[in-house]
Structure 1
Amino acid sequence: MHKSLYSRPNDVFLMLLRDVRMSKRLRQSDLAVRLGRSQAIVSRVESGERRLDITELVAWLAAMDTDIVTFAKQLHARLQGDIAGTGRRGQKRLRPAAHRGP
């Protein structure tokens, strides 16, 4: 069994987590304050260096005024789109838009 930490579905999960934060117009530091954590932890989670368990994910989403059901539906849609070829294929790792190449 391969490690899911470096799998395409995990990349999609992390991308969605970041996209939700950004859609709420929250910086990593803003989310960190809401969570009572450091900005470094937010960065580590979004980069895939640190994983969230389910209870942490629920708290993380609540801090962004999002619920687990909505997030799960969005994740499912993105994963289905990725399988169907309409997702963001070809990206090796998550990077902010400003760092993506042409």
Structure 2
Amino acid sequence: MHKSLYSRPNDVFLMLLRDVRMSKRLRQSDLAIRLGRSQAIVSRVESGERRLDITELVVWLAAMDTDIVTFAKQLHSSLEGDIAGTERRRQKRLQQAGRRGP
């Protein structure tokens, strides 16, 4: 299994997180103030150098006046093709494994 840090879904996640901030017309420094963190931390998260756990994500989204459900729906919509492709590959592997037998 490949590292999720360097995957397309993670790139989409980071892009969406940045897009939410920008759609609210917030600079990194503005978000940092709302979070009580440094601008450097915001930059590290958006560049993928630092990861957020789910509880941190909820706080970040709240600081941008966005909720986790809305964000998750947007992320899912952005990743639908990736999710479908992953499922097709999984089904193909299962079929191939079934042909080989015990």
TM-score (norm 2): 0.79
After superposition, the C-alpha distances for 1:33-87 in whole angstroms (9 at most, x for unaligned) are 0000000000000000000000000000000000000000000001115668xxx
Number of the residue aligned with 2:24 = 24
Amino acid at match of 1:18: R
What secondary structure is seen at the aligned counterpart in 1 of 2:26? coil
- Structure 1, unmatched stretches of 5+, are 85-102
Bigger Cα displacement from structure 2, 19-28 vs 72-81: 72-81
Identical residues among aligned pairs (%): 94
What RMSD over aligned residues (CA atoms) do the two structures have, in Å? Answer: 1.3
Which residue of the partner structure matches residue 7 of structure 1? 7
Q: Which residue of 1 aligns with 2:36?
A: 36
Q: Deviations over 1:6-50 (max 9, x none)?
A: 100000000000000000000000000000000000000000000
Cα distance in 2 for residues equivalent to 1:43 and 1:82? 26
The yes-or-no answer on 1:79 pairing with 2:82 is no
Partner amino acid for 1:56? E
Partners of 1:6 and 1:40 lie apart in 2 by 21
Which structure 2 residue ranges, 5 or more long, are not aligned? 85-102
SS in 1 for 2:78: helix
CA distance in structure 1 between the aligned counterparts of 2:4 and 2:78, rounded to whole angstroms:
17
Secondary structure, aligned partner of 1:80: helix
Q: Which of 1 and 2 has greater Rg?
A: 2
Partner in structure 2 of residue 58 of structure 1: 58
Aligned to 1:91: none
Aligned residues: 84
Structure 2 CA distance, aligned partners of 1:43 and 1:64?
A: 15
